[in-house]
Amino acid sequence: MRVAILISGRGSNMEALIKGVKSGFIPAEIGLVLSNRAEAEGLAKAKKSGLKTLFLDPKEYKGKEEYDRAIVETLRGEGIDLVCLAGFMRIISPYFVDAYHNRIINIHPSLLPAFPGLDAQQQAIDYGVKYSGVTVHIVDKGVDSGPIIAQRVVEVKEGDTAETLAKRILAEEHKIYPLVLKALAEGRVKVKGRTVMVKE
Protein backbone atom coordinates (compact mmCIF):
# COMPACT_ATOMS: atom_id res chain seq x y z
CA MET A 1 0.00 0.00 0.00
CA ARG A 2 1.40 3.36 -1.03
CA VAL A 3 0.43 6.16 1.28
CA ALA A 4 0.53 9.95 1.01
CA ILE A 5 0.50 12.15 4.09
CA LEU A 6 -0.98 15.63 3.77
CA ILE A 7 0.10 18.22 6.31
CA SER A 8 -0.12 21.94 7.01
CA GLY A 9 2.07 22.39 10.07
CA ARG A 10 4.12 20.69 12.74
CA GLY A 11 3.65 17.17 11.43
CA SER A 12 3.91 15.24 14.68
CA ASN A 13 1.24 12.75 13.56
CA MET A 14 3.11 12.40 10.29
CA GLU A 15 6.24 11.58 12.31
CA ALA A 16 4.34 8.90 14.22
CA LEU A 17 3.26 7.34 10.91
CA ILE A 18 6.78 7.55 9.47
CA LYS A 19 8.15 5.86 12.59
CA GLY A 20 5.56 3.09 12.26
CA VAL A 21 6.47 2.47 8.63
CA LYS A 22 10.24 2.69 9.11
CA SER A 23 10.19 0.24 12.02
CA GLY A 24 8.21 -2.28 9.96
CA PHE A 25 5.17 -2.05 12.26
CA ILE A 26 3.06 -0.75 9.36
CA PRO A 27 3.43 -2.70 6.10
CA ALA A 28 3.11 0.33 3.81
CA GLU A 29 5.30 2.72 1.89
CA ILE A 30 5.09 6.49 2.23
CA GLY A 31 5.19 7.70 -1.37
CA LEU A 32 4.73 11.39 -0.69
CA VAL A 33 4.36 14.06 1.97
CA LEU A 34 2.43 17.02 0.59
CA SER A 35 1.83 20.39 2.21
CA ASN A 36 -0.30 23.40 1.36
CA ARG A 37 2.13 25.59 3.32
CA ALA A 38 5.76 26.05 2.30
CA GLU A 39 6.79 26.81 5.88
CA ALA A 40 5.16 23.72 7.42
CA GLU A 41 7.68 22.33 9.92
CA GLY A 42 6.63 18.84 8.96
CA LEU A 43 7.92 19.28 5.40
CA ALA A 44 11.49 19.76 6.61
CA LYS A 45 11.10 16.78 8.96
CA ALA A 46 9.84 14.57 6.11
CA LYS A 47 12.73 15.66 3.87
CA LYS A 48 15.16 14.81 6.66
CA SER A 49 13.61 11.34 6.82
CA GLY A 50 14.45 10.92 3.14
CA LEU A 51 10.84 11.06 1.95
CA LYS A 52 9.60 12.68 -1.22
CA THR A 53 7.97 16.00 -0.35
CA LEU A 54 5.95 18.53 -2.27
CA PHE A 55 4.58 21.98 -1.51
CA LEU A 56 1.56 22.87 -3.63
CA ASP A 57 0.61 26.52 -3.30
CA PRO A 58 -3.18 27.05 -3.20
CA LYS A 59 -2.66 30.62 -4.39
CA GLU A 60 -1.52 29.32 -7.75
CA TYR A 61 -4.92 27.73 -8.45
CA LYS A 62 -8.21 29.36 -9.32
CA GLY A 63 -10.23 27.65 -6.61
CA LYS A 64 -10.54 24.75 -4.20
CA GLU A 65 -11.48 22.18 -6.82
CA GLU A 66 -8.71 23.23 -9.19
CA TYR A 67 -6.23 22.85 -6.35
CA ASP A 68 -7.61 19.46 -5.38
CA ARG A 69 -7.46 18.31 -9.01
CA ALA A 70 -3.75 19.09 -8.95
CA ILE A 71 -3.37 17.10 -5.72
CA VAL A 72 -5.27 14.11 -7.14
CA GLU A 73 -3.19 14.19 -10.33
CA THR A 74 -0.02 14.21 -8.24
CA LEU A 75 -1.24 11.38 -6.01
CA ARG A 76 -2.20 9.26 -9.01
CA GLY A 77 1.17 9.98 -10.60
CA GLU A 78 2.83 8.64 -7.47
CA GLY A 79 0.63 5.54 -7.41
CA ILE A 80 -0.89 6.50 -4.06
CA ASP A 81 -3.56 4.11 -2.69
CA LEU A 82 -4.40 5.84 0.58
CA VAL A 83 -4.29 9.43 1.80
CA CYS A 84 -3.69 10.28 5.47
CA LEU A 85 -4.59 13.79 6.50
CA ALA A 86 -2.38 14.74 9.42
CA GLY A 87 -3.16 18.28 10.48
CA PHE A 88 -4.04 19.23 6.89
CA MET A 89 -6.09 22.33 7.59
CA ARG A 90 -8.16 22.47 4.43
CA ILE A 91 -11.58 21.13 3.64
CA ILE A 92 -11.34 18.51 0.92
CA SER A 93 -13.52 19.15 -2.16
CA PRO A 94 -16.17 16.62 -3.30
CA TYR A 95 -13.98 16.00 -6.37
CA PHE A 96 -11.10 14.78 -4.18
CA VAL A 97 -13.43 12.72 -1.95
CA ASP A 98 -14.87 10.95 -5.02
CA ALA A 99 -11.45 10.42 -6.61
CA TYR A 100 -10.24 8.65 -3.44
CA HIS A 101 -13.58 7.29 -2.21
CA ASN A 102 -13.16 5.71 1.25
CA ARG A 103 -9.40 6.05 0.82
CA ILE A 104 -8.83 9.34 2.64
CA ILE A 105 -8.55 9.25 6.42
CA ASN A 106 -8.26 12.05 8.93
CA ILE A 107 -7.34 12.44 12.57
CA HIS A 108 -9.31 14.89 14.68
CA PRO A 109 -8.68 15.91 18.31
CA SER A 110 -12.15 15.27 19.76
CA LEU A 111 -14.69 12.49 20.11
CA LEU A 112 -16.66 13.16 16.92
CA PRO A 113 -19.42 14.06 16.28
CA ALA A 114 -18.65 16.40 19.18
CA PHE A 115 -16.57 19.45 18.37
CA PRO A 116 -15.85 19.24 14.64
CA GLY A 117 -13.91 21.95 12.83
CA LEU A 118 -11.29 24.24 14.26
CA ASP A 119 -10.05 24.47 17.86
CA ALA A 120 -11.66 21.21 18.95
CA GLN A 121 -9.80 21.22 22.27
CA GLN A 122 -10.93 24.77 23.10
CA GLN A 123 -14.49 23.80 22.15
CA ALA A 124 -14.30 20.89 24.62
CA ILE A 125 -13.01 23.15 27.41
CA ASP A 126 -15.67 25.79 26.68
CA TYR A 127 -18.45 23.21 26.71
CA GLY A 128 -17.24 21.76 29.99
CA VAL A 129 -17.16 18.10 28.96
CA LYS A 130 -15.42 15.70 31.34
CA TYR A 131 -14.08 13.50 28.56
CA SER A 132 -12.83 14.31 25.11
CA GLY A 133 -10.42 12.37 22.95
CA VAL A 134 -9.37 11.59 19.43
CA THR A 135 -11.09 10.22 16.35
CA VAL A 136 -9.71 8.68 13.18
CA HIS A 137 -12.31 8.66 10.45
CA ILE A 138 -12.85 8.24 6.75
CA VAL A 139 -13.25 11.56 4.97
CA ASP A 140 -16.59 12.16 3.31
CA LYS A 141 -18.07 15.31 1.81
CA GLY A 142 -18.91 16.89 5.16
CA VAL A 143 -16.61 18.45 7.73
CA ASP A 144 -15.26 15.81 10.15
CA SER A 145 -18.42 13.79 9.47
CA GLY A 146 -17.22 10.56 7.82
CA PRO A 147 -17.46 6.98 9.14
CA ILE A 148 -15.47 6.50 12.33
CA ILE A 149 -12.65 3.95 12.31
CA ALA A 150 -11.31 4.36 15.84
CA GLN A 151 -11.55 6.59 18.90
CA ARG A 152 -9.73 6.99 22.20
CA VAL A 153 -11.04 8.78 25.25
CA VAL A 154 -9.01 11.40 27.09
CA GLU A 155 -10.15 12.78 30.42
CA VAL A 156 -10.53 16.54 30.76
CA LYS A 157 -8.92 17.42 34.08
CA GLU A 158 -9.71 20.29 36.39
CA GLY A 159 -7.70 23.33 35.41
CA ASP A 160 -7.05 22.04 31.89
CA THR A 161 -6.51 24.66 29.23
CA ALA A 162 -6.84 23.99 25.51
CA GLU A 163 -3.06 23.62 25.47
CA THR A 164 -2.75 21.08 28.31
CA LEU A 165 -5.68 19.08 26.96
CA ALA A 166 -4.26 19.20 23.42
CA LYS A 167 -0.98 17.78 24.70
CA ARG A 168 -2.64 14.78 26.33
CA ILE A 169 -4.87 14.20 23.31
CA LEU A 170 -1.84 14.41 21.01
CA ALA A 171 -0.12 11.61 22.94
CA GLU A 172 -3.14 9.40 22.13
CA GLU A 173 -3.18 10.60 18.51
CA HIS A 174 0.38 9.35 18.09
CA LYS A 175 -0.68 5.88 19.26
CA ILE A 176 -3.98 5.50 17.46
CA TYR A 177 -3.03 6.80 14.01
CA PRO A 178 -0.27 4.23 13.40
CA LEU A 179 -2.59 1.46 14.66
CA VAL A 180 -5.28 2.50 12.18
CA LEU A 181 -2.85 2.75 9.28
CA LYS A 182 -1.48 -0.69 10.19
CA ALA A 183 -4.99 -2.16 10.19
CA LEU A 184 -5.73 -0.60 6.79
CA ALA A 185 -2.43 -1.74 5.31
CA GLU A 186 -3.09 -5.26 6.55
CA GLY A 187 -6.55 -5.28 4.95
CA ARG A 188 -8.30 -5.61 8.32
CA VAL A 189 -10.71 -2.68 7.82
CA LYS A 190 -14.13 -3.18 6.23
CA VAL A 191 -16.48 -0.28 5.50
CA LYS A 192 -20.23 -0.85 5.17
CA GLY A 193 -22.06 2.45 4.91
CA ARG A 194 -21.30 4.28 8.14
CA THR A 195 -20.11 1.19 9.95
CA VAL A 196 -16.41 0.44 9.97
CA MET A 197 -15.23 -2.91 11.22
CA VAL A 198 -11.63 -3.43 12.26
CA LYS A 199 -10.49 -7.02 12.73
CA GLU A 200 -8.11 -7.55 15.63
Q: Which residues bind ligand GAR (CB under 6 A)?
A: 7, 9-13, 42, 86-87, 107-109, 120, 170, 173
Between 38 and 200, CB nearer to ligand GAR: 38
Closest CB 55 distance from ligand GAR, rounded Å: 15
Closest CB 196 distance from ligand GAR, rounded Å: 18
Cis peptide before 113 (omega within 30 of 0): yes
| Catalytic member of 101, 108, 137, 174 | 108
Between 11 and 31, CB nearer to ligand GAR: 11
Is 108 considered catalytic here? yes
Closest CB 3 distance from ligand GAR, rounded Å: 15
Instruction: Give the integer Cα–Cα distance in Å for 17 and 109.
Output: 16
Task: Please list the residues that pair with 104 across neighbouring strands.
Answer: 83
- CB-based closest residue to ligand GAR: 87
Contact 105, 137 (CB under 8 A): yes
Strand order in the sheet with 82-85: 53-55, 29-35, 2-7, 82-85, 104-108, 131-138, 148-155
Closest CA to 87 of 188, 180, 181, 177: 177
Closest CB 15 distance from ligand GAR, rounded Å: 8
Pairing of strands 104-108, 82-85: parallel
Task: Please list the residues that pair with 135 across neighbouring strands.
Answer: 108, 151
Q: What amino acid positions are annotated as catalytic residues?
A: 108
